[in-house]
Chain A
Amino acid sequence: MSYKDDYRNENTEAPFYWLISTLRTYLEPEVYDFDQLVDDLQSRSEWTRQFKDQHRAALLDPSQLPDGAIYWAASYDDGNQVRYLRRLWRDLYPGEPVPGGDDEFREDLRKLISGEVEHRPLPTTVIEYDDSWGKPATVEELQELGRRIWQRFYPDEPLP
């Protein structure tokens, strides 16, 4: 049985059911409601625990995920499922380190802050946090953007 059948049949015992089902229900682009997901996760009920456990497991060993399931559920723009799941963890659980690490994001931020990024488009891991889409910016403005993002996610760490 495929992950799509598991979703349709509410087969809650299927691998990563709660992760896939939650992404599909809250974050598929046509129904996208990130704020509602954040609110509902505050309930700390059984499904929210399972969702987080499966999210963590997927990040620690993405090879266990059914092929194509995360893209089917969330239709993300990040380019690959690991980059997407890392961003989602970062946004859902601020202050909790991304399981398995978040090196690509930190490196992209370092390049932005150091002035190596001269113009938009920004590195993919950073685009979601860009608040001035498509507008020309100086290198200094992009550096400032990088610093703001760094301080948002790593308030206790010095700027790179």
Chain B
Amino acid sequence: MGGYWRETRGADDPGERIEQSSQPSTDRPSASWPNLEAASTEKLLQAMGYDWKDLTSEVGDLPRESQAAIERFEPRQANLPELTREEAGAYIRDTGETRPWLRTAERAAPEIQHVVASVDQGGGHAAERHEGFTAGERNERRVDGLEDPAQLDPDLRAEGKDAMSPERRHRCGDTATAINNPEAFAAAFARGAAHPDIQATLGRPRSPEEVRTPRAVEIPIEELLGEDGANHCEGHRLLPIDGDIEAAKRYRLRWVNAEPEQRAGMTRPATEAITNEEFRGGTIVFAFGVTADRSHWEITTMYPKPRDRNEPQP
């Protein structure tokens, strides 16, 4: 076979050692039933005869303050397009085919649909990449194969093409996370948007002289979703190669870029699930971008971040 990468990347590159492995390509053991241990929650529930959507729309252990924030939510508070609850329900019902991440909210309460649909009508991508639709296997595929859950063309998704900019590859750090049900997602967004640290950016016009995007704001998960808020968060992380996460990320890039014949001789990048416990003491990250009319800032994404592994568990 030969080839450039085998010949010139030396043994000091941990990623290279995996590429030269004689193991066949591991084609996603977590997705192949009956591997119960690694199968996604969604697949397990489906196999057990449960309706994933029904279950996720009935999570009801959020604190009263979070539920109140959902009920009080007004799109304009987050500089999102105006939308009534009735319009939100119709939007989810009518666009669920083309925007499948909305389907998790199909049977949710109107006030939850109001938040989810409003977020989806903004310029950000929190709903399609960090809500229940993405939880489980889609998160895993994002981390190990740069597959953008928002990319609906399966061929482009498999090639790692980004949904928002299909001419570019999709970006993913060494973790991908989501809030795994629409009620908690809506609560996090509604409570976060009303939070003083975020209103400091959302609650004022953007000055034309403001030529720097504001820094992201992090708010403790417990503050937005209650003391058991971590139970609503999940994700996957890329595993380091010989303790080196940079080598693992470089290897992932090369794995995705490889031609099918070469990829067959490589090992799929390894990941592991991030446990609920790791989200205890973690944060919800809110990042900003300019609105379409450039007059204000809006939340471009929102996602849960596990506790820093170097910090003690609370």
Contacts and interface: CB of A to CB of B under 8 A. Distances in A.
- Secondary structure of the A contact surface, majority rule: loop
Given A30-B287, A133-B160, A134-B160, A124 B211 contact: no
Contact of A29 (B4, B160, B173): B173
B303 A133 contact: no
- Secondary structure of the B contact surface, majority rule: mixed
Interface in A69-107: 71, 75-80
A76 B258 contact: no
Given A45-B211, A76-B249, A80-B246, A31 B301 contact: yes
Contacts of B214: 25
A79 B4 contact: no
A59 interface: no
Contacts, number: 119
B169 A133 contact: yes
Contacts of B215: 7, 10, 21, 24-25
A43 B213 CA distance: 12
A123 B4 contact: yes
A160 to B, nearest CB: 16
Contacts of B160: 133-134
Interface in B248-272: 249-250, 252-263
B212 A47 contact: yes
Interface string A19-52: 0010011101111110010001001010110000
Interface string B178-219: 000000000000000000000000000000000111111000
Given A79-B13, A133-B256, A134-B258, 17 more contacts: A21-B215, A29-B172, A30-B287, A31-B216, A31-B287, A32-B171, A33-B213, A75-B174, A76-B246, A80-B246, A116-B4, A117-B4, A119-B259, A122-B257, A124-B253, A133-B257, A134-B260
